[in-house]
């Protein structure tokens, strides 16, 4: 094994690189499914009370080694004029909550009143998550008609959508009365990994979408009806629309961000240090071809993403051809990594990270247990102000790349819209709300703190941090952050989020890649459509022998005799 060398924070925490990430076997969805199989979770319905149109309610029983939970799902008619995927919507096809224990009739009655209201209703601390979803207008009804006629859909047509339902929000961590993360971590250790409860809700929403479809298919008037081919069932995921609401999370949780990136970078460094074996190169060729086909099947009208996908396919084709040639002998993974850094796009470089992870699950997978962390930003009041200023120079040197006397560097502000119930971007001098903007301008705040530190030190050379804050109390928040984060290698995103041309899409994709989503389809610079759990095993697969190989799913092949036209 060669020397383990971590990528520097200046590279790993570059905003554009973070926005080029892909899912990996460290992603939360992959981790959840592995544990569902390894620990033999038992998932079944205790209630499935739907009418012929699929309306009614269902209750999943989820038995884990250390807990028993229920997912309660309510399905109702949604008029076309009420269909809205925005967070401000008030009605949905499905609403659901993940709760502790079994659900009796009295509790079910209370949930039936509140859960369909979502934000306007209330749940209590027995609920872990609250969520909702809408049917895909592009595919649900046409697929239903085909299966009732005894035909299977064309997988290539199915690939254009990739899901029956999409979710617009999954609320946890104390929202609307639900229990907080601390309780989940203490009392439900099976879910004590980041976003495991939320990912479980999405996984079971996907399963319910298939079961509801089959329930509607097999009604008395359709004697020729057939189930959806099981390979197509696995291929369908859950759709998701993600907007600006997700972006501030990465800034507001720098210690968690440091943990996620740190574990990923440690895993990557260890993988690159591994000796190259022929079977590993063969595996790389295999997963590379699968990833390329997956990217070919991504449907997007966004020019920026389309160009990125095209360049990625050009790069990976060159790598594929080289690996298949007589000259394509890999002697050292680090050499391959360095070649990619010099010759390939950011997306290709980050795809290579995910693909190399697949070669060494024994190295990478154990890091999943190190992704959660207790967050606390604190400072030492007895520390010298000079020492704090030195920490800024050493750990936050990147903030001095920005000249905040320039208008362009501080033209954007982030605020929370009470009307739209979600974060928004505003422009200074154009939009209202600057006076209540979010604290996301880390680079600007650190610079301002450093300037004031130097002024205090110039007057009192041995001043402490406590004395500095007595004079400049407005810097308390950023001092807490600097003192804590200067002790970490990763965590701070190297970007000025106040610049007039800031692209929030990079933040969205970074977090979504850690979730494990795929098929990024930006609909603007501010929100992206994507797919969750596509290719994952269905519930009936969980008790069988399982290969953790559902990364970069591709449309399955079916015989022509069973195919329909949609």
CB-CB contact of 564 with 153 (8 Å): yes
pLDDT at 329 over 70: yes
Are 404 and 546 in a shared domain?
no
**How far is 323 from 292, CA to CA, in rounded Å?**
15
pLDDT attached to residue 565: 53
**DSSP-assigned letter for residue 275:** B
Structure tokens at 188: 């439900």
Are 41 and 101 in a shared domain?
yes
Are 542 and 440 in a shared domain?
no
Are 454 and 558 in a shared domain?
no
Rg of the chain's alpha carbons, rounded to an integer?
A: 25
15 domain residue, yes or no? no
8 domain residue, yes or no? no
**What is the end-to-end Cα distance of the chain in Å, rounded?**
52
CB-CB contact of 206 with 238 (8 Å): yes
**Torsion over CA of 258, 264, 265 and 269, rounded to 10 degrees?**
160
Are 53 and 136 in a shared domain?
yes
**DSSP-assigned letter for residue 379:** -
85 domain residue, yes or no? yes
pLDDT attached to residue 287: 97
pLDDT attached to residue 326: 79
For residue 133, CA distances in Å to 111, 221, 444 come to 17, 28, 39
Show which of 445, 460, 485 is a domain's final residue: 485
232 domain residue, yes or no? yes
Q: Please tell me the least confidently modeled range out of 8-22, 153-167, 463-477.
A: 153-167
Instruction: Work out the average pLDDT over 503-529.
Output: 90
Residue 138 CA to its chain's centroid (Å): 24
In percent, how much of the chain has pLDDT > 70?
97
CB-CB contact of 260 with 266 (8 Å): no
110: left (phi over 0), alpha (psi -120 to 50) or beta: alpha
Instruction: Work out the average pLDDT over 171-194.
Output: 91
Mean pLDDT of the chain: 93
pLDDT attached to residue 416: 80
Are 67 and 175 in a shared domain?
yes
pLDDT at 292 over 80: yes
Domain count, the chain: 2
pLDDT at 560 over 70: no
Q: How confident is the model at residue 81 (pLDDT cuts 50, 70, 90)?
A: confident
Are 416 and 548 in a shared domain?
no
In percent, how much of the chain has pLDDT > 90?
80
pLDDT attached to residue 82: 84
Domain that holds residue 468: 385-485
199 domain residue, yes or no? yes
150 domain residue, yes or no? yes
Are 52 and 175 in a shared domain?
yes
Instruction: Work out the average pLDDT over 283-309.
Output: 94
pLDDT attached to residue 397: 96
Q: Say how many C-beta atoms besides its own lie within 10 A of residue 304's C-beta.
A: 12
3-class state of residue 150 by DSSP:
coil
302 domain residue, yes or no? no
Residue 551's nearest CA partner among 566, 538, 534, 565 is 534
Are 58 and 129 in a shared domain?
yes
Q: How confident is the model at residue 1 (pLDDT cuts 50, 70, 90)?
A: low
Instruction: Work out the average pLDDT over 237-247.
Output: 86
**How far is 375 from 254, CA to CA, in rounded Å?**
9
pTM recorded for the entire structure: 0.94
pLDDT at 368 over 80: yes
Helix axes 333-343, 346-359, angle to 10 degrees: 160
- Parallel, antiparallel, or unpaired: how do β-strands 518-522 and 237-242 relate? unpaired
Instruction: Work out the average pLDDT over 481-485.
Output: 97
Are 437 and 558 in a shared domain?
no
Are 420 and 558 in a shared domain?
no
491 domain residue, yes or no? no
Q: How confident is the model at residue 132 (pLDDT cuts 50, 70, 90)?
A: very high
pLDDT at 564 over 90: no
pLDDT attached to residue 479: 98
3-class state of residue 201 by DSSP:
helix
Q: Please tell me the least confidently modeled range out of 53-62, 173-182, 196-205.
A: 173-182
Residue 556's nearest CA partner among 236, 186, 194, 165 is 236
pLDDT attached to residue 436: 86
Q: What is the pLDDT of residues 401-441, one digit of tens each?
A: 999 999 999 999 888 876 656 778 889 988 888 888 889 99
Are 63 and 162 in a shared domain?
yes
pLDDT attached to residue 116: 96
pLDDT attached to residue 149: 97
**How far is 537 from 6, CA to CA, in rounded Å?**
34
pLDDT attached to residue 420: 56
Residue 359's nearest CA partner among 344, 337, 327, 328 is 337
pLDDT attached to residue 563: 57
pLDDT at 483 over 80: yes
């Amino acid at each position: 094994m060669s020397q383990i060398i971590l990528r520097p924070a200046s590279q790993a925490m570059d905003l554009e690189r973070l926005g080029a990430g892909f899912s990996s076997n460290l992603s939360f969805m992959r981790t959840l499914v592995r544990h569902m199989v390894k620990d033999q979770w038992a998932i079944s319905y205790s209630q499935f009370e739907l009418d012929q149109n699929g309306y009614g309610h269902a209750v999943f029983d989820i038995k884990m080694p250390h807990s028993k939970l229920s997912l309660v799902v309510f399905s109702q008619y949604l008029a076309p004029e009420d269909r809205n995927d925005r967070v401000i919507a008030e009605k949905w096809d499905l609403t659901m909550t993940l709760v502790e224990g079994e659900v009796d009739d009295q509790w079910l009655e209370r949930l039936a009143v509140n859960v369909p209201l979502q934000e306007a209703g209330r749940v209590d601390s027995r609920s872990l998550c609250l969520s909702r979803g809408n049917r895909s207008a592009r595919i649900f009804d046409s697929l239903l008609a085909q299966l009732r006629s005894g035909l299977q859909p064309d997988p290539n047509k199915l690939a254009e959508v990739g899901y029956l339902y999409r979710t617009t929000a999954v609320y946890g961590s104390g929202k609307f009365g639900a229990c907080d993360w601390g309780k989940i971590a203490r009392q439900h250790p099976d879910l004590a990994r980041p976003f495991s409860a939320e990912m479980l809700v999405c996984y079971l929403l996907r399963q319910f979408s298939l079961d509801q479809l089959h329930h509607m298919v097999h009604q008395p008037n359709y004697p020729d009806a057939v189930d959806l081919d099981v390979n197509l069932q696995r291929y369908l995921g859950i759709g998701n629309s993600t907007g600006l609401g997700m972006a501030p999370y990465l800034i507001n949780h720098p210690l968690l961000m440091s943990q996620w990136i740190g574990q990923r970078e440690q895993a990557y460094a260890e993988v690159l240090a591994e000796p190259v074996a022929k079977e590993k190169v063969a595996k790389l060729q295999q997963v590379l071809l699968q990833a390329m086909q997956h990217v070919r099947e991504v449907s997007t009208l966004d020019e920026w993403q389309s160009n990125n996908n095209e360049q990625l396919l050009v790069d990976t084709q060159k790598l594929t051809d080289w690996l298949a040639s007589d000259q394509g002998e890999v002697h050292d993974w680090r050499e391959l990594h360095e070649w990619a850094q010099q010759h390939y796009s950011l997306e290709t470089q980050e795809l290579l990270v995910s693909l190399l992870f697949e070669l060494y699950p024994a190295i990478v997978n154990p890091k999943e247990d190190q992704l959660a962390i207790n967050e606390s930003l604190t400072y030492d009041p007895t520390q010298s102000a000079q020492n704090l200023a030195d920490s800024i120079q050493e750990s936050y040197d990147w903030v001095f790349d920005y000249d905040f006397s320039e208008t362009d560097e501080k033209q954007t502000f982030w605020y929370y819209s009470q009307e739209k119930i979600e974060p928004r971007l505003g422009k200074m001098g154009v939009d209202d709300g600057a006076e209540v903007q979010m604290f996301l301008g880390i680079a600007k705040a650190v610079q301002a703190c450093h300037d004031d530190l130097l002024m205090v030190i110039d007057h009192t050379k041995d001043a402490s941090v406590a004395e500095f804050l007595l004079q400049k109390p407005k810097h308390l928040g950023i001092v807490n952050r600097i003192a804590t984060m200067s002790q970490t290698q990763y965590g701070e995103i190297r970007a000025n989020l106040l610049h007039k041309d800031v692209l929030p899409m990079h933040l969205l994709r970074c977090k979504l890649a850690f979730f494990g989503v795929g098929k990024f389809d930006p609909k603007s610079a501010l929100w992206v459509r994507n797919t969750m759990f596509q290719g994952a095993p269905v519930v009936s697969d969980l008790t069988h022998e399982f290969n953790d190989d559902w990364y970069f799913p591709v449309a399955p092949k079916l015989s022509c005799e069973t195919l329909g036209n949609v």
